[in-house]
Amino acid sequence: MEYGPAPESDKNAMEFLDRHKRSFGLFINGKWVTRKETFPAVSPATGQVLAQVAEASAGDVDAAVKAAQKALPGWVKAGGHERAKYLYALARQVQKHSRLFAVLESLDNGKAIRETRDIDIPLVARHFYHHAGWAQLMDSELKDYKEIGVVGQIIPWNFPLLMLSWKIAPALAMGNTLVLKPAEQTSLTALLFAEICRNIGLPDGVVNIITGHGSVGEALVNHPGVQKIAFTGSTEVGRIIRKNTAGSGKKLSLELGGKSPFIVFEDADLDSVVEGVVDAIWFNQGQVCCAGSRLLAQESIAEKLYEKLKVRLQKLVVGNSLDKGIDMGAIVSPEQLKTISSFVDKGKNEGNEVWQLENIPSAGCFFPPTLFLNVSPASVIAQEEIFGPVLVAMTFRSHQEAVKLANNTRYGLAASLWTENINLALDVAPKIKAGTIWINTTNVFDASSGFGGYRESGFGREGGLEGLMEYVKPKEEKAFSEKTFAFKAAGSSKAGTGGLDRTPKMYIGGKQARPDSGYSLQVVNPAGQVVGEVGEGSRKDIRNAVEAAQANSKWAENTGHARAQVLYYLAENLSARKKEFEERLVETCGYSAKDAILEVARSVERIFTYAAYADKYDGRVHSTISRNVTLAMNEPLGVLGIVCPDEFPLLGLVSTVAPAIALGNSVVVIPSPASPLSATDFYQVLDTSDVPGGTVNIITGPGEPLAAELARHFDVEGIWYFGSAEGSKNVELLSADSMKRSWVNYGKHYDWLNNPLEKEFLRKASEVKNIWIPYGA
Ligand code: NDP
């Protein structure tokens, strides 16, 4: 029996559009500002022009930022409880108008009403409710943090209102004001949202919504009045934004593309898997950043699974977005349809076996659900983000091979694991480089759980406590200062001890290694005396050090307790040799004896502190909705590059290395370029303290070129840089290609002696992975 269409009425949506005379202005400072220049909002399912939308100019961006700046002090002063009431009111309004929002979203984007009604809009409301709670609790739960200021937010077209809520709710909760730019293809629900902001009496200028093309986003990114940019979209644009904000001090979070694996082990329940695949890749027409677009099936069950999928695929219904009976709606735009078609043509030309739904509407932006079988992992369709309803399947034999294939991508957004064996799932989950792991489920989201990527999928998290951290900064503003905290040179330095000419080597993989260049550099103390020489490190030394760090993955697999033991031992051995280190500081930095004693004592204490944290920096279990346990686990970044400050040559080294290795990272360190001899002395302490080779690698030499090599290196997952303002900018610029996390000081000085940001070092040394485990008998 054929099902007939079951259309949802568009009456309320049309009334809303008519009320605005089918023409929308910009929402700046609580008012609608009309503009002559407009562009059409088109329904992709029918080609109907729904309305005209204003194109903002650079002047409009400036006006919106100024409105947000003006509103900021009042919004901060309002306090958490007042803000909570506004967020609660927004949640209520979204719920009250949920049908209108759902219909408008489906019309504008082409997505199925079943999804906007049951998934997008309820999640939007949930986001505002959840963050109303965080606003209320900010003073108690985030008492060491404050708002960042004016936030610029740029969102894509695939989940227009949902992405708006992911951006706006945490920003407002934490006391920021904002300017948001929706994607040019899908502005309408953002404009309806602007209307409800007015309806609830949100103070003018707290939320500003400006519509337009990519150039509007670019002007927002470059505006000097914006303190943070939050972006979701393509990796390509994310990279441009990283480069454009380099050196500006703007905080940045980027949620970018993906090519997420959907791994099916042989003991999985295949009927559930088939429905999982439907949700993974045919949900929202596959236009989902975390879509399970690579099916990895264990060889023993692959054929059986493929047969089931072929049958299921032919049962999917593609049609008008307002038809309640459809599974898949329209692709967002003719351009996106073209992109998808061209990828599929490439896949076909490569000779891959392909299965597609035969029956789809002939007019409008529709594309059939598509399944490619037995695809090579190196194929274009297996590597590139297609952002459409296209699944590529390949097989694996062992669990190890599954992990390797899963990680064989430049992205790292999500993964889905299917097995009836929870032990296997929890063994594999930490090994996959992705921010979210779903076990026996897929594409589930909740406001209380963080979402975000690794590698070229970007950085920062949205949702939950980890997401809030993107919208606050430490209250302790004096941690970084224009003035140095360093001790003054006492002026009576003692020159080198003479005797044997000993030039310390590099320290790579637990062994001393000659610099590849064969050159050395003189080390001069503040009195101008040569106190020794060190090797001049170069690109090749960095490469060898990164390889050694990468080969040391076992360090991360140790328990926190085991790492703590090693760190305590390190502190003990440093303490045993404190005299030697004190003398070295007097000799190389011209310190007084008292200052030298203090720096060494603080260094020992600092290692103790991070040894203590090694088994205490726990994750959380998020209370997500719908019968799930969601484990938010703190994971090491992997290989971390560290460029130490010139000042505090010993304390700067241990204050950065200790938190990084305490959490399981392996590090490549450039010690104080001005005074590296304390670091080279430190090799012996490392050697005698059971620190496994490759955990700490030390390359001496010129700071800036070595920092640039670390920033460029694709296998370095994060970089900390404590040097000049120019060097900070360079590190941020060069980090853009590999999308690595960077933490720089913009030429300011940190108070190493007192370490006011003690816990911040742990946060910057780790990333949160959310593992979703559904339950129910
Ligand atoms: P973009 O990354 O271009 O767009 C995302 C947002 O950024 C839009 O609001 C866009 O404006 C804006 N933008 C564009 N250029 C700039 C710039 N230089 N500076 C600041 N903001 C800018 O994605 P597309 O819409 O072009 O889609 C292209 C591909 O991106 C898709 O095929 C898909 O692979 C991927 N994508 C990934 C998403 C994700 O969630 N990870 C979401 C959407 C797309 P405007 O739309 O007006 O150009």
For 138-179, how does the pLDDT look when each residue is reduced to its tens digit (9 = 90+)?
999 999 999 999 999 999 999 999 999 999 999 999 999 999
Q: Looking at the DSSP assignment, which residues form a beta bridge with residue 628?
A: 774
Nearest to 286 by CA among 239, 341, 232: 341
pLDDT at 227: 98
Residues 348, 373: contact at Cβ < 8 Å? no
Q: Which residues contact 594 (CB under 8 A, 6 or more apart)?
A: none
Q: Looking at the DSSP assignment, which residues form a beta bridge with residue 24?
A: 53
How would you label 526-547 residue by residue, b for 16+ Cβ within 10 Å and e otherwise? beeeebbbbbbbbeebbebbbb
- Ligand 1 atom closest to 156 (CA): 5
- Distance from the CA of 35 to the center of ligand 1, in angstroms? 23
d(CA 589, CA 675): 7
Measured between alpha carbons, how far apart are the two ends of the chain, in Å? 34
Place of tokens 């809520």: 165
pLDDT at 3 > cutoff 80: no
d(CA 255, CA 453): 7
Nearest to 511 by CA among 532, 531, 553, 541: 541
For 108-129, how does the pLDDT look when each residue is reduced to its tens digit (9 = 90+)?
999 999 999 999 999 999 999 9
pLDDT at 549 > cutoff 90: yes
- Ligand 1 atom closest to 213 (CA): 47
For 630-670, how does the pLDDT look when each residue is reduced to its tens digit (9 = 90+)?
999 999 999 999 999 999 999 999 999 999 999 999 999 99
pLDDT at 523 > cutoff 90: yes
d(CA 436, CA 453): 8
pLDDT at 495 > cutoff 90: no
CA 395 to chain centre: 29
Place of tokens 């088994």: 615
Residue 491 pLDDT grade (very low, low, confident, very high; cuts 50, 70, 90)? low
Residue from 197, 289, 290, 365 carrying the catalytic annotation = 289
- Distance from the CA of 344 to the center of ligand 1, in angstroms? 21
pLDDT at 12 > cutoff 90: yes
Place of tokens 């934490």: 174
Sign of the torsion angle spanned by Cα atoms 454, 460, 461, 465 = positive
d(CA 347, CA 370): 11
Reading phi first (left if > 0) and then psi (alpha if -120 to 50, else beta), residue 30 is in left
pLDDT greater at residue 494 or residue 391: 391
Once rounded to an integer, what is the mean pLDDT over residues 293-314?
Answer: 98
pLDDT at 56 > cutoff 50: yes
Nearest to 100 by CA among 226, 189, 218, 2: 189
Pocket lining for ligand 1, CB < 6 angstroms:
154-158, 181, 183-184, 213-214, 217-218, 221, 232-234, 237, 240-241, 256-257, 289, 336, 339, 385, 387
Once rounded to an integer, what is the mean pLDDT over residues 96-105?
Answer: 98
Q: What percentage of the chain carries pLDDT values higher than 70?
A: 98
d(CA 484, CA 125): 48
pTM: 0.96
How many Å is the Cα radius of gyration of the chain?
A: 28
d(CA 299, CA 393): 11
For 20-47, how does the pLDDT look when each residue is reduced to its tens digit (9 = 90+)?
999 999 999 999 999 999 999 999 999 9
Once rounded to an integer, what is the mean pLDDT over residues 83-92?
Answer: 98
Nearest to 638 by CA among 543, 568, 741, 523: 741
- Distance from the CA of 533 to the center of ligand 1, in angstroms? 51
d(CA 113, CA 111): 6
353 belongs to the catalytic site: no
- Distance from the CA of 234 to the center of ligand 1, in angstroms? 5
pLDDT at 421 > cutoff 60: yes
Mutate to test the pocket of ligand 1, among 38, 120, 154, 281 (most ligand atoms within 8 A of CB): 154
For 236-269, how does the pLDDT look when each residue is reduced to its tens digit (9 = 90+)?
999 999 999 999 999 999 999 999 999 999 999 9
- Ligand 1 atom closest to 256 (CA): 41
Q: Which residues contact 689 (CB under 8 A, 6 or more apart)?
A: 566, 569, 570, 572, 573
* Ligand 1: residue whose CA is nearest its atom 18: 218
Nearest to 668 by CA among 703, 723, 702, 716: 716
* Ligand 1: residue whose CA is nearest its atom 26: 234
pLDDT at 496: 52
Residues 432, 407: contact at Cβ < 8 Å? yes
3-state secondary structure of 636: strand
d(CA 467, CA 462): 4
Q: Which residues contact 757 (CB under 8 A, 6 or more apart)?
A: 474, 476, 479, 750
For 322-370, how does the pLDDT look when each residue is reduced to its tens digit (9 = 90+)?
999 999 999 999 999 999 999 999 999 999 999 999 999 999 999 999 9
d(CA 771, CA 439): 7
Which residue intervals of 454-589 are DSSP H helices?
464-468, 539-550, 554-557, 560-576, 578-589
pLDDT at 50: 98
pLDDT at 476: 84
pLDDT at 338: 98
Q: Is 656 exposed, middle or buried, given 0-12, 13-18 or 19+ CB atoms closer than 10 A?
A: buried
d(CA 182, CA 187): 5
Q: Mind spelling out the 3-state secondary structure of 140-164?
A: HHCCCEEECCEEEEECCCCCHHHHH
289 belongs to the catalytic site: yes
Mutate to test the pocket of ligand 1, among 38, 218, 234, 331 (most ligand atoms within 8 A of CB): 234
- Ligand 1 atom closest to 257 (CA): 41
Once rounded to an integer, what is the mean pLDDT over residues 561-578?
Answer: 98
Nearest to 211 by CA among 30, 67, 25, 29: 25
Residue 499 pLDDT grade (very low, low, confident, very high; cuts 50, 70, 90)? very low
For residue 594, what are its two tokens?
């008292």
